[in-house]
Amino acid sequence: MFLGRIKLKHMRNPAGFVSLALLFLLAVSCRTLPEISGPFSAGETAIPLEPGAIAYILADVKNARPILNFLPIRELNENQAGQILDRTQSAVVAVYPRESGRRFQLAAWGDFPTGQAGIALGLSKEWKKARSQAGYSYWYSQAGGLSLAINAKQAHVAAVSAGVPPDPISHSPPVQFPADFIAASAGSIISCWLENPGTTVNRLFEAMGLPLQLPAERMYITIFPNENPAQDSGLRYRAAIKIEASGESQAKALETLFSMARVFSSQAPETNGVVSLAAVLFANAPVRDGKYLELQTAPLTEKDIALLFSFFSIY
């Protein structure tokens, strides 16, 4: 299913990175990777990715499958994407700033067949085999800007904007979860935190016609199953957005901004689904607690979540 030519561009959405990068999980045979715990293991407080990212995303792929199915994957048809996701249990992704030269790094856990596709890569002119300093093998494509390593239980992918892609497995100390991330994401099926998120959130304000700037240091987005879908017209999900400001005065300013956006979303005409999304996001009044501001959304569809992540895209 994966032996044809694949264009390795157009990975622009951090939510879509999880699905799109997984297309490489059937592509390598490598049985000597280091054992690394998954992000949903009991007591886990860190993820095996490189530091310095703009966003870190965790996905319980098995339970988030209906959402991931809705995200467009240009390089694969629906049947191929489904076969890949069928074998994936969980994944974590880091998205890096443009100026760093790195694009993203992914680690995934599941039950992956690793035999036949390794032969296909060995016959490809674009892919070359390399050996890491730790002694395991991985593959890379300089033309595609990707490197990858896989065994039966885990897979790792790294992407760069130019040059030779590095070893896809991180050898830096694992990135620790922010202090309140574990509590904020408990029970979620997709969760992420964004560092210095103002630029990404401002896109949503701009699309709504609001000239607002977000003074925030960190933001958490968590997607949960809706506990009462029968009472909410079958809508299966809800989201919580928690924003960390630099201090209480900045949090008060945020509260004012979101209150303005809430009023606007209830009155503005619809444009490309933006106002409908804003109405869902701002359905409830923001709650401020010290330097934190939290929004609880109305019940969401898969389409709402896909649109939400499209506005919080990094590139």
Q: Which residues of 119-151 are buried (b: 16+ CB within 10 A; e: fewer)?
A: eebeeeeebeeeebeeebbbbbbeebbbbbbbb
Q: How confident is the model at residue 175 (pLDDT cuts 50, 70, 90)?
A: very high
Q: What is the pLDDT of residue 77?
A: 46
User: For residue 9, what pLDDT is reported?
Assistant: 43
Tokens found for residue 224? 């949960």
Ranked by mean pLDDT, the top range of 6-20, 54-68, 190-204 is 54-68
Length of the chain: 315
pLDDT at 221: 92
Whether the pLDDT of residue 48 is over 80: the answer is: yes
Instruction: Express each pLDDT in 64-111 by its tens digit.
Output: 988 887 765 544 445 555 666 788 899 999 989 888 999 889 898 998
Claim: this prediction has a pTM higher than 0.85? no
Q: What is the mean pLDDT of the chain?
A: 78
Measured between its terminal Cα atoms, the distance across the chain in Å is: 29
pLDDT tens digits, 178-233: 988 888 888 999 999 998 887 777 776 776 666 667 778 889 999 999 887 777 77
pLDDT at 312: 57
E runs forming strands in the chain:
46-47, 55-59, 88-95, 102-110, 128-131, 137-141, 146-150, 154-160, 175-176, 190-195, 218-225, 237-244, 287-289, 292-296
Residue among 292, 215, 212, 216 nearest 248 (CA):
292
At 174 the pLDDT is: 93
pLDDT value, residue 275: 64
